[in-house]
Amino acid sequence: MEADMADVIANAQAEEDAREAAALRKRSKVLQQGLPRPPPATVELIRNTIPRHAEADDPKTLIQKELVALLEHDNAKYPMTNKSGKPPPVIPELENLDEQELKEKSGYERASLASTAERLAAAQYEFEAVKKIEAAFREAESLGTELQCYRSVHQQEELIAPRRIEAFQEEVKRQSDKESVLQMRYERI
């Protein structure tokens, strides 16, 4: 018995959906859930917080390096917007994990194996990292708003400046005429 064309299309669509779902599961949670991401400039700020001479097995340093690697990968492979027209940057390679490895490395399984002190330290570090990212994001937004304000004031000043110059010239002319009249009166006295 031959498959109906509608069944063939439905099967192909189901396979495509399964591939997309598998690809989505390999993305970071931020991309999976469509959450806002920090701008690329924030990655540099986070990189600068990593101590230069830290121990290679220091958990805090390892987490920061992994965070920077994830952010760079996400920004390169899934850019927020590319208005510059520049070619996309080289995408850093990340560990390619299959479904089983992803399950093994999921946060829930790792968290269940960690001690309470380790979980508390990880949560505290994550909270601090999120606070730093949020502060950098707020600062970037603030600077953007300031730039818009300065540009708006600049445009207004460019429009108003010729009228002000004209008004000042008229005032100077009026004062010169008044001074001339007063000088003539003084000569008569």
pTM given for the model: 0.37
Weakest-pLDDT range from 46-50, 118-122, 147-151: 118-122
**How many other CB atoms are there within 10 angstroms of residue 38's CB atom?**
21
Query: Which region among 67-71, 90-94, 109-113, 172-176 has the lowest average model confidence (pLDDT)?
Result: 109-113
Q: How confident is the model at residue 98 (pLDDT cuts 50, 70, 90)?
A: low
Residue 123 CB coordination number (10 Å): 11
- Which residues, 6+ apart, have CB-to-CB distance to 75 below 8 Å? 37, 40, 43
For the chain, the structural domain boundaries read 7-36
133-to-30, 41, 43, 82, 102 alpha-carbon distances in Å = 14, 10, 9, 21, 26
User: In the prediction, which pLDDT does 148 show?
Assistant: 92
- Residue 57 backbone dihedrals phi, psi, to 5 degrees: -105, 15
Using one digit for the tens of pLDDT, what is the confidence trace for 9-26?
Answer: 888 999 999 988 887 777
Beta-carbon contacts of residue 67 (< 8 Å; ≥ 6 apart)? 46, 129
Separation between Cα atoms, residue 23 and residue 97, nearest integer Å: 11
